[in-house]
Amino acid sequence: MMRTTSRKAERRQLAALLLITVFVAFILGLWSGKVQKSGARTSIDNMLLKVLSLTINSFGSITNHPDTEPVNGITDTGLSRLSELEEENQQLRKLLNLSKNLPGKPFGAQIVGRSTVPWEGYLIIPVGTDNGVFPRMAAISAEGVVGQVVSATKDSANILPLTDPASGIGAKVVRLVNVPQADPLAMPVTQQKTIAVGVLKGYKAGICSLGQCSMEYIVDSANVQPGDKVVTSGLGSVYGRLAVSGIPLGVVDSVKVNKPLAILDITVTPATDPSNVSWVALVK
């Protein structure tokens, strides 16, 4: 009985995944037809057209992979690939919405490789100077800032993640607070309040763990608390290129007073885990 129930649950999950992917492919198909008809295509458009092609081509391999015994015509390998496609499509939809609020013309790129250094984890993209990619461009995912381009050849480039010890981003700590209105009968208005301004650095021994960041140059009198958001400050720039305020960087995890230096040692969990990013938008 348990085996039959498990099999039914598996079939329901499979049907749901198929439905979602077919729907996404359908919507992208309508959108791509409109783009091709108008002739107006940005780099983000080209990126999504490429994903549409990969999504459609993957359906053939999902139902005809020889590695495992198929269930309802789809193998375990195919089911895994279907899940990956669904996750990538979700990332791309979010990235497309985010790119509308970025300056200039964001350049879409897929992550095709990573280095093996635990706290660095350079991200490799298959586009370079021939495509307009140059060092110090900001790389942003659907969740927030990923890092910066540190080197580029004609056809590839390396992105240094924000968790690397060498990284540094102008940042501010913000918090949602209720602001009373002049009318005592009116409901308070929720607003974002800036608590402190500093620099978000990457991994720092003794302050945070690998995969986390540290917030520096904040005096010990600042009222920073765990759970506060960290976003780009717009002061100066992000990696020398992007001077936009409010792009997510992470969440404050812990706060300790460093009495000898009269500052706060702040640990930040990044909004984006560089090890799980599939696509980024590069901003010139």
146 and 199, same structural domain? Answer: no
Which of 82, 99, 116 marks a domain boundary?
99
- Tell me the C-alpha to C-alpha distance, in Å, between residue 198 and each of 67, 71, 177: 53, 54, 20
- DSSP 8-state assignment for residue 247: -
Chain centre to alpha carbon of residue 234: 19
3-state secondary structure of 276: helix
pLDDT band at 62; cut points 50, 70, 90 = very low
> What is the rounded CA–CA span in Å between residue 207 and residue 16?
44
95 and 13, same structural domain? Answer: yes
> What is the rounded CA–CA span in Å between residue 232 and residue 152?
25
Q: Find the domain containing 122 and state its range.
A: 107-165+275-283
**Residue 35 pLDDT:** 47
**Residue 18 pLDDT:** 54
Contacts of 46 (CB under 8 A, 6+ apart): 108
**Residue 174 pLDDT:** 96
Q: How many domains does the chain have?
A: 3
> What is the rounded CA–CA span in Å between residue 140 and residue 47?
15
Q: Is pLDDT above 90 for 16?
A: no
> What is the rounded CA–CA span in Å between residue 149 and residue 151?
6
279 and 157, same structural domain? Answer: yes
3-state secondary structure of 136: coil
pLDDT over 70 for what percent of the chain? 59
The mean of the pLDDT values for the chain is: 75
Residue appearing with tokens 């979700």: 90
More confident residue, 264 or 120: 264
Residue appearing with tokens 């308070």: 188
81 and 19, same structural domain? Answer: yes
- DSSP 8-state assignment for residue 126: S
pLDDT band at 91; cut points 50, 70, 90 = low
144 and 279, same structural domain? Answer: yes
Residue 269, number of CB atoms within 10 A of its CB: 17
3-state secondary structure of 149: strand
Instruction: Output the domain CATH number for residue 112.
Output: 2.40.10.340
Phi, psi of 57 (to 5 degrees): -65, -25
